[in-house]
Amino acid sequence: MRLASTLDARLHALLGDRAVDLTDALDLVPGAGGPLLSFLERGGTLDELRSLDLDTLPARAAGALRLAAPLARPGKVVGAPVNYLDHKAEMGEQRTIADYGVFLKASSSVIGHGGLIRLPYTDVRTDHEGELGVVIGREASRVPAERALEHVFGYVPLLDITVRSGEDRSTRKSFDTFTPIGPWVTTADEVPDPGSLELRCWVGAELRQRASTADLIYGVAELIAYTSHVMTLHPGDVIATGTPAGVGPVAAGDQVAVEIEGLGRLEVGVSDERAIAYATRPGQR
Protein backbone atom coordinates (compact mmCIF):
# COMPACT_ATOMS: atom_id res chain seq x y z
CA MET A 1 0.00 0.00 0.00
CA ARG A 2 1.15 3.52 -0.80
CA LEU A 3 0.35 5.96 2.01
CA ALA A 4 0.33 9.70 1.47
CA SER A 5 -0.17 12.46 4.02
CA THR A 6 -1.73 15.66 2.71
CA LEU A 7 -1.47 19.29 3.78
CA ASP A 8 -4.97 19.12 5.27
CA ALA A 9 -3.67 16.41 7.68
CA ARG A 10 -5.47 13.49 6.02
CA LEU A 11 -4.00 10.04 5.36
CA HIS A 12 -4.63 8.49 1.95
CA ALA A 13 -4.04 5.13 0.34
CA LEU A 14 -3.06 5.61 -3.29
CA LEU A 15 -4.67 3.11 -5.64
CA GLY A 16 -3.69 3.99 -9.18
CA ASP A 17 -5.26 7.38 -9.93
CA ARG A 18 -7.55 7.15 -6.88
CA ALA A 19 -6.76 8.35 -3.35
CA VAL A 20 -8.82 6.74 -0.61
CA ASP A 21 -9.11 8.78 2.58
CA LEU A 22 -8.33 6.54 5.59
CA THR A 23 -8.33 9.24 8.26
CA ASP A 24 -11.81 8.77 9.73
CA ALA A 25 -11.90 5.01 9.27
CA LEU A 26 -8.72 4.79 11.38
CA ASP A 27 -9.98 7.38 13.92
CA LEU A 28 -6.80 9.39 13.44
CA VAL A 29 -6.25 12.59 15.38
CA PRO A 30 -3.19 13.98 13.63
CA GLY A 31 -0.70 15.93 15.70
CA ALA A 32 2.26 17.98 14.51
CA GLY A 33 3.78 14.89 12.91
CA GLY A 34 0.81 14.38 10.59
CA PRO A 35 -1.67 11.51 10.24
CA LEU A 36 0.72 8.67 9.38
CA LEU A 37 2.86 9.35 12.43
CA SER A 38 -0.29 9.40 14.60
CA PHE A 39 -1.27 6.04 13.14
CA LEU A 40 2.14 4.46 13.80
CA GLU A 41 2.49 5.98 17.27
CA ARG A 42 -0.84 4.56 18.35
CA GLY A 43 0.30 1.09 17.31
CA GLY A 44 -1.19 1.02 13.82
CA THR A 45 -0.13 -1.95 11.71
CA LEU A 46 -0.29 -3.13 8.15
CA ASP A 47 -2.87 -5.73 9.21
CA GLU A 48 -5.12 -2.94 10.46
CA LEU A 49 -4.81 -1.17 7.10
CA ARG A 50 -5.60 -4.40 5.28
CA SER A 51 -8.75 -4.89 7.36
CA LEU A 52 -10.29 -1.71 5.92
CA ASP A 53 -12.83 -2.04 3.15
CA LEU A 54 -11.35 0.61 0.89
CA ASP A 55 -14.28 0.53 -1.54
CA THR A 56 -16.58 1.98 1.13
CA LEU A 57 -14.33 4.92 2.01
CA PRO A 58 -14.34 8.42 0.51
CA ALA A 59 -12.00 8.83 -2.43
CA ARG A 60 -10.79 11.58 -4.71
CA ALA A 61 -8.48 11.89 -7.67
CA ALA A 62 -4.88 11.20 -6.64
CA GLY A 63 -3.73 14.05 -8.86
CA ALA A 64 -5.73 16.51 -6.76
CA LEU A 65 -3.83 15.71 -3.54
CA ARG A 66 -1.64 18.38 -2.02
CA LEU A 67 1.09 16.22 -0.56
CA ALA A 68 2.77 16.89 2.77
CA ALA A 69 5.78 15.00 4.09
CA PRO A 70 4.45 11.49 4.78
CA LEU A 71 5.88 11.87 8.32
CA ALA A 72 6.24 15.55 9.14
CA ARG A 73 8.14 15.25 12.39
CA PRO A 74 9.50 11.74 13.02
CA GLY A 75 10.65 10.98 16.55
CA LYS A 76 14.14 10.76 15.14
CA VAL A 77 15.95 10.58 11.84
CA VAL A 78 19.01 8.34 11.98
CA GLY A 79 21.65 8.70 9.28
CA ALA A 80 24.23 6.26 7.97
CA PRO A 81 27.56 7.81 7.01
CA VAL A 82 29.77 6.32 4.28
CA ASN A 83 27.56 3.35 3.43
CA TYR A 84 28.34 2.71 -0.26
CA LEU A 85 31.84 1.69 -1.41
CA ASP A 86 31.83 4.07 -4.39
CA HIS A 87 30.84 7.05 -2.19
CA LYS A 88 33.50 6.02 0.34
CA ALA A 89 36.05 6.22 -2.48
CA GLU A 90 34.85 9.58 -3.83
CA MET A 91 35.04 11.11 -0.34
CA GLY A 92 38.53 9.69 0.24
CA GLU A 93 37.17 7.92 3.31
CA GLN A 94 38.93 5.03 4.97
CA ARG A 95 36.28 4.51 7.61
CA THR A 96 32.67 3.30 7.63
CA ILE A 97 29.83 2.83 10.11
CA ALA A 98 32.04 0.29 11.88
CA ASP A 99 34.15 3.29 12.97
CA TYR A 100 31.75 6.25 12.81
CA GLY A 101 28.55 4.64 14.02
CA VAL A 102 25.37 6.38 12.94
CA PHE A 103 24.36 10.04 13.35
CA LEU A 104 21.13 11.94 14.04
CA LYS A 105 19.43 14.57 11.90
CA ALA A 106 16.98 16.96 13.53
CA SER A 107 13.40 15.86 12.86
CA SER A 108 12.60 19.54 12.24
CA SER A 109 14.58 19.26 8.98
CA VAL A 110 11.87 17.18 7.26
CA ILE A 111 9.92 18.54 4.27
CA GLY A 112 7.74 16.79 1.70
CA HIS A 113 7.38 16.43 -2.05
CA GLY A 114 7.21 19.78 -3.79
CA GLY A 115 8.92 21.56 -0.89
CA LEU A 116 11.90 23.86 -1.04
CA ILE A 117 15.43 23.22 0.23
CA ARG A 118 16.72 26.47 1.72
CA LEU A 119 20.47 26.94 1.32
CA PRO A 120 21.94 28.34 4.56
CA TYR A 121 25.12 29.82 3.09
CA THR A 122 25.97 31.77 -0.04
CA ASP A 123 29.60 30.66 -0.02
CA VAL A 124 29.71 27.09 1.33
CA ARG A 125 28.72 24.12 -0.79
CA THR A 126 25.46 22.31 -0.01
CA ASP A 127 25.13 18.81 -1.50
CA HIS A 128 22.33 16.42 -2.38
CA GLU A 129 22.52 12.83 -1.13
CA GLY A 130 19.84 10.57 -2.60
CA GLU A 131 18.99 7.74 -0.22
CA LEU A 132 16.60 4.94 0.63
CA GLY A 133 14.59 5.88 3.74
CA VAL A 134 13.32 3.20 6.13
CA VAL A 135 10.25 3.84 8.29
CA ILE A 136 10.10 1.87 11.53
CA GLY A 137 6.74 0.26 12.34
CA ARG A 138 7.40 -1.63 15.55
CA GLU A 139 9.61 -0.76 18.52
CA ALA A 140 13.11 -2.16 18.04
CA SER A 141 15.60 -2.56 20.85
CA ARG A 142 18.70 -4.69 20.34
CA VAL A 143 17.12 -6.73 17.59
CA PRO A 144 19.27 -9.22 15.68
CA ALA A 145 19.69 -8.62 11.95
CA GLU A 146 17.76 -11.82 11.20
CA ARG A 147 14.63 -10.29 12.75
CA ALA A 148 15.23 -6.65 11.93
CA LEU A 149 13.02 -6.40 8.85
CA GLU A 150 10.01 -7.39 10.98
CA HIS A 151 10.31 -3.92 12.51
CA VAL A 152 10.04 -2.07 9.21
CA PHE A 153 6.73 -0.44 8.30
CA GLY A 154 7.77 0.83 4.91
CA TYR A 155 10.20 2.60 2.62
CA VAL A 156 10.44 6.07 1.13
CA PRO A 157 12.78 8.06 -1.13
CA LEU A 158 14.80 10.53 0.94
CA LEU A 159 17.33 13.31 0.43
CA ASP A 160 20.01 13.81 3.06
CA ILE A 161 21.00 17.41 2.31
CA THR A 162 24.42 18.29 3.65
CA VAL A 163 26.59 21.39 4.04
CA ARG A 164 30.26 20.62 3.31
CA SER A 165 31.77 22.60 6.16
CA GLY A 166 33.76 21.53 9.18
CA GLU A 167 31.04 21.08 11.79
CA ASP A 168 29.78 17.82 13.17
CA ARG A 169 27.44 15.88 10.84
CA SER A 170 24.45 16.50 13.10
CA THR A 171 24.83 20.25 12.49
CA ARG A 172 25.67 20.12 8.79
CA LYS A 173 22.69 17.88 8.00
CA SER A 174 20.07 19.36 10.33
CA PHE A 175 19.28 22.74 8.80
CA ASP A 176 15.55 23.28 8.29
CA THR A 177 14.41 21.68 4.99
CA PHE A 178 17.46 19.34 4.83
CA THR A 179 15.50 16.06 4.95
CA PRO A 180 13.00 15.87 2.10
CA ILE A 181 11.02 12.59 2.22
CA GLY A 182 8.22 11.35 0.00
CA PRO A 183 6.18 11.50 -2.06
CA TRP A 184 4.59 8.67 -0.05
CA VAL A 185 5.53 5.66 2.08
CA THR A 186 5.29 2.25 0.44
CA THR A 187 4.53 -0.49 2.96
CA ALA A 188 7.14 -3.20 3.43
CA ASP A 189 4.93 -5.99 2.08
CA GLU A 190 5.31 -4.42 -1.37
CA VAL A 191 9.10 -4.35 -1.08
CA PRO A 192 10.18 -7.98 -0.91
CA ASP A 193 13.89 -7.12 -0.96
CA PRO A 194 15.05 -3.64 0.13
CA GLY A 195 18.54 -4.79 -0.87
CA SER A 196 17.89 -4.82 -4.61
CA LEU A 197 16.31 -1.46 -5.49
CA GLU A 198 17.57 0.89 -8.16
CA LEU A 199 18.12 4.43 -6.89
CA ARG A 200 18.57 7.47 -9.12
CA CYS A 201 19.06 11.13 -8.25
CA TRP A 202 18.88 14.08 -10.62
CA VAL A 203 19.63 17.76 -10.38
CA GLY A 204 17.59 19.29 -13.19
CA ALA A 205 18.00 17.00 -16.21
CA GLU A 206 21.42 15.77 -15.07
CA LEU A 207 21.51 12.27 -13.62
CA ARG A 208 23.95 12.60 -10.72
CA GLN A 209 23.54 9.32 -8.86
CA ARG A 210 22.62 5.84 -10.02
CA ALA A 211 23.12 2.78 -7.85
CA SER A 212 21.50 -0.31 -6.44
CA THR A 213 20.80 -0.75 -2.75
CA ALA A 214 22.58 -4.09 -3.30
CA ASP A 215 25.76 -2.02 -2.97
CA LEU A 216 25.00 -0.81 0.57
CA ILE A 217 27.88 -1.70 2.89
CA TYR A 218 25.44 -2.07 5.79
CA GLY A 219 22.09 -3.27 4.43
CA VAL A 220 18.76 -2.35 5.97
CA ALA A 221 18.65 -5.29 8.42
CA GLU A 222 22.20 -4.73 9.60
CA LEU A 223 21.58 -1.00 10.03
CA ILE A 224 18.54 -1.66 12.20
CA ALA A 225 20.46 -4.24 14.24
CA TYR A 226 23.33 -1.83 14.81
CA THR A 227 21.19 1.25 15.47
CA SER A 228 18.82 -0.55 17.83
CA HIS A 229 21.84 -1.76 19.79
CA VAL A 230 22.51 1.95 20.50
CA MET A 231 19.00 3.44 20.76
CA THR A 232 15.46 2.12 20.82
CA LEU A 233 13.75 2.72 17.50
CA HIS A 234 10.11 3.74 17.81
CA PRO A 235 7.28 3.55 15.28
CA GLY A 236 7.61 6.42 12.82
CA ASP A 237 11.37 6.80 13.26
CA VAL A 238 13.22 7.11 9.96
CA ILE A 239 16.61 5.73 8.93
CA ALA A 240 18.49 7.36 6.04
CA THR A 241 20.53 4.44 4.76
CA GLY A 242 23.37 6.33 3.08
CA THR A 243 24.18 7.66 -0.36
CA PRO A 244 26.09 6.24 -3.35
CA ALA A 245 28.71 8.07 -5.42
CA GLY A 246 27.81 11.17 -7.40
CA VAL A 247 26.94 13.62 -4.65
CA GLY A 248 27.33 17.20 -5.73
CA PRO A 249 26.25 20.76 -5.07
CA VAL A 250 22.77 22.17 -5.50
CA ALA A 251 22.07 25.81 -6.33
CA ALA A 252 19.14 28.18 -6.11
CA GLY A 253 16.57 27.40 -8.80
CA ASP A 254 17.55 23.71 -9.10
CA GLN A 255 15.01 20.91 -9.05
CA VAL A 256 16.34 17.88 -7.19
CA ALA A 257 14.72 14.49 -7.66
CA VAL A 258 15.34 11.06 -6.20
CA GLU A 259 13.54 8.05 -7.57
CA ILE A 260 13.68 4.55 -6.15
CA GLU A 261 12.35 1.53 -7.99
CA GLY A 262 8.77 0.88 -6.87
CA LEU A 263 8.77 3.70 -4.30
CA GLY A 264 8.09 6.77 -6.44
CA ARG A 265 9.89 9.96 -7.32
CA LEU A 266 10.49 12.71 -4.77
CA GLU A 267 11.06 16.21 -6.18
CA VAL A 268 11.95 19.43 -4.39
CA GLY A 269 13.21 22.87 -5.35
CA VAL A 270 16.15 24.89 -4.02
CA SER A 271 16.16 28.48 -2.77
CA ASP A 272 18.89 30.78 -1.47
CA GLU A 273 16.41 33.38 -0.30
CA ARG A 274 17.69 33.55 3.29
CA ALA A 275 21.27 32.40 2.67
CA ILE A 276 24.04 34.32 4.43
CA ALA A 277 27.83 34.45 4.15
CA TYR A 278 29.38 31.69 6.27
CA ALA A 279 31.56 34.16 8.16
CA THR A 280 28.50 36.14 9.27
CA ARG A 281 26.70 33.20 10.92
CA PRO A 282 25.78 33.62 14.59
CA GLY A 283 28.15 32.38 17.25
CA GLN A 284 31.43 33.48 15.66
CA ARG A 285 34.09 34.68 18.06
**In the complex, which residues of this chain contact Mn ion (CB under 5 A)?**
129, 160, 243
Kindly state the smallest distance separating residue 81's Cβ from Mn ion, in Å: 7
Burial class (CB in 10 A: 0-12, 13-18, 19+), 152: buried
Nearest approach in angstroms of CB 131 to Mn ion is: 6
* Phi then psi dihedrals of residue 85, to 5 deg: -60, -40
The residue sitting closest to Mn ion, measured at its beta carbon, is 160
Q: How far is the CB of 214 from Mn ion (least distance, A)?
A: 18
| Count of beta carbons in the 10 Å neighbourhood of residue 64 | 9
Query: In the complex with Mn ion, which residue's Cβ is closer, 105 or 118?
Result: 105
Residue 221 or 247: which CB sits closer to Mn ion? Answer: 247
* Residue (40 or 247) nearer to Mn ion, CB: 247
* C-alpha–C-alpha distance, residues 157 and 257, integer Å: 9
Would you say 38 or 243 has its CB closer to Mn ion?
243
- Measured from the CB of residue 127, what is the shortest distance to Mn ion in angstroms? 9
Which residue number, 25 or 223, has a Cβ lying nearer to Mn ion?
A: 223
Q: Which residues contact 232 (CB under 8 A, 6 or more apart)?
A: 139, 140, 141
- How many other C-beta atoms can be found within 10 angstroms of the C-beta atom of residue 57? 16
> In angstroms, what is the minimal distance from the CB of 105 to Mn ion?
9
Query: Residue 18 or residue 169: which is nearer to Mn ion going by CB?
Result: 169
- Residue 235, preceding bond cis, omega within 30 degrees? no
Q: Is residue 105 within 8 Å of 81, Cβ to Cβ?
A: no
Residues in the chain: 285
CB of 82 to Mn ion, least distance (A): 9
| C-alpha–C-alpha distance, residues 127 and 119, integer Å | 10
Closer Cβ to Mn ion, 160 or 254, answer by number:
160
**Bridge partners, residue 78, by sequence:** 104, 239
Least Å from the CB of residue 158 to Mn ion? 9
Beta strands, E only, 27-163: 59-61, 77-79, 103-105, 110-111, 116-118, 126-128, 130-136, 152-159, 162-163
